[in-house]
Amino acid sequence: MIKVYGIKTCNSVRNALKFFKDNNIEVEFSDIRKEAPLAESITTWVEKAGIDIAFNSKGTKYRTLQLKELNLDDKGKLEWLIKEPMLLKRPVIEYNDDVMIGFNEEIYKETFL
């Protein structure tokens, strides 16, 4: 089962969910606003995808928290991801014991079709 983590108001998440629906691929959706991912899940995602892929330094939450001023190292970024899951780039897709972060239709086609 493919699991999609994100928020429904995010365009990338909406595009991913539409892709799966249009291609009749069943997924389970988890809203990270309503239920924060476990710290061990976030750590695993970062290990598999890389901190620079997982950590959203362009989003509203990053600016609101003024994290740029902290000049975070990778460990600091991971700690913030665990404290504030809204700092995750979205969507996070778990599949076949792997993880993909973000939406890229061509990569989705290669991976899921």
Beta strands at 92-95 and 2-6: parallel, antiparallel or unpaired: antiparallel
**Residues 24, 21: Cα–Cα separation, whole Å:** 5
Structural tokens at position 29: 């959706």
Structural tokens at position 33: 């606003």
Beta strands at 27-31 and 92-95: parallel, antiparallel or unpaired: unpaired
Annotated catalytic, 71? no
Find the catalytic residue in 7, 10, 54, 82: 10
Residue 18: CB atoms within 10 Å: 12
**Which residues are designated catalytic?**
10
